[in-house]
Copies of this chain bind each other. A is one copy, B any other.
Amino acid sequence: MATSPHSQADPAVAEPAAGATPAFSPLYQQIKELILQSLQSGEWKPGEAIPSEMDLAARFRVSQGTVRKAIDELAADNLVIRRQGKGTFVATHAEQHVRYRFLKLMPDSGDRDSEGPAQRAVLDCKRVRASAEVARALALRTGDPVIQVRRVLSFGGVPTILEDLWLPGNAFKGLTAEQAAGYQGPTYAMFELEFGVRMVRAEEKIRAVLPDPQQAAALKVSQQMPLLSVERIAYTYNDVPMELRRGLYRTDTHHYRNDLN
């Protein structure tokens, strides 16, 4: 082991190339990387249990404590969920208590549960060519095939969110308006189930804007009503961008909530 101390039984991890800068990293980081690769390759699917800590320790020939620390970090990254007595499970957007993890819009009074689920109306779902902007966000080339979805989310019958989604055409080949509208539960859960694409993190840029006539009409609001513009890029494993989303949020009855630590 060039990259970690104690090689009592030769952990089954790769040696760094000799000569070059020897990418030092602790054993548990290497284990984390290996588990990550298995997650990514789909060896264990969202919602399924991964092998027990003891099993993984045996597989990688390290102590249980080292595997534990690796999994601790994966759990901190929300890639995996630990359940005492049951096992460790691949995280998924399809669960009750983690649903709409990325949606920070909250009703001004009460919580999201009291409000009930959003009604989805898909206005459009078509195959287009990536604009320069969309291509940059999705790490594609201008003109590459992209699927664009436009939809409105309503709460209690009130149109509240208008958003456009852009998805890489390759990974999401065959996505239809019916799929986008009909699936029960978070759209990201549908992406996992139907396309094997799991979003693990996202970045948002938020602005205050006025809607153009078309947008105002879709939300049934005046053109003078200021709206929250939320541009999101969602990433799957390995920081690969898989979705660009531009949303307009009404904030007269809702607000965007953020916790700072």
A interface, CB within 8 angstroms of B = 76-78, 101-102, 104, 200-210, 224, 226-229, 232, 249, 251-252, 255-261
Q: Are B203 and A258 in contact (CB under 8 A)?
A: yes
C-alpha spacing A202/B259, complex, angstroms? 6
A203/B77 contact (C-beta < 8 A), A208-B208, A208-B251 known: no
C-alpha spacing A255/B203, complex, angstroms? 12
C-alpha spacing A13/B87, complex, angstroms? 31
Copy number of this protein in the oligomer? 2
Q: Are A205 and B257 in contact (CB under 8 A)?
A: yes
Q: Are A255 and B205 in contact (CB under 8 A)?
A: yes
Minimum CB distance partner of A72 in chain B: B72
Report B-chain residues with C-beta under 8 Å of the C-beta of A232. Answer: 260
C-alpha spacing A76/B77, complex, angstroms? 12
A228/B206 contact (C-beta < 8 A), A101-B260, A260-B201 known: yes
**Residue from B101, B251, B258, B261 in contact with A104 in the complex, judged by beta carbons closer than 8 Å:** B258
Minimum CB distance partner of A77 in chain B: B261
**Residue from B102, B204, B208 in contact with A227 in the complex, judged by beta carbons closer than 8 Å:** B208
Report B-chain residues with C-beta under 8 Å of the C-beta of A229. Answer: 208
Q: Are A207 and B259 in contact (CB under 8 A)?
A: no
Q: How far is the CB of A221 from chain B (nearest CB, A)?
A: 11
Report B-chain residues with C-beta under 8 Å of the C-beta of A210. Answer: 224, 226
**Residue from B101, B206, B251, B260 in contact with A202 in the complex, judged by beta carbons closer than 8 Å:** B260
Report B-chain residues with C-beta under 8 Å of the C-beta of A261. Answer: 77-78, 200-201
Minimum CB distance partner of A209 in chain B: B226
Report B-chain residues with C-beta under 8 Å of the C-beta of A260. Answer: 101-102, 104, 201-204, 232
Minimum CB distance partner of A257 in chain B: B205
**Residue from B201, B207, B249 in contact with A255 in the complex, judged by beta carbons closer than 8 Å:** B207
**Residue from B76, B203, B224 in contact with A259 in the complex, judged by beta carbons closer than 8 Å:** B203
Q: Are B251 and A206 in contact (CB under 8 A)?
A: yes
C-alpha spacing A207/B225, complex, angstroms? 11
A257/B77 contact (C-beta < 8 A), A208-B208, A208-B209 known: no
Q: How far is the CB of A115 from chain B (nearest CB, A)?
A: 16
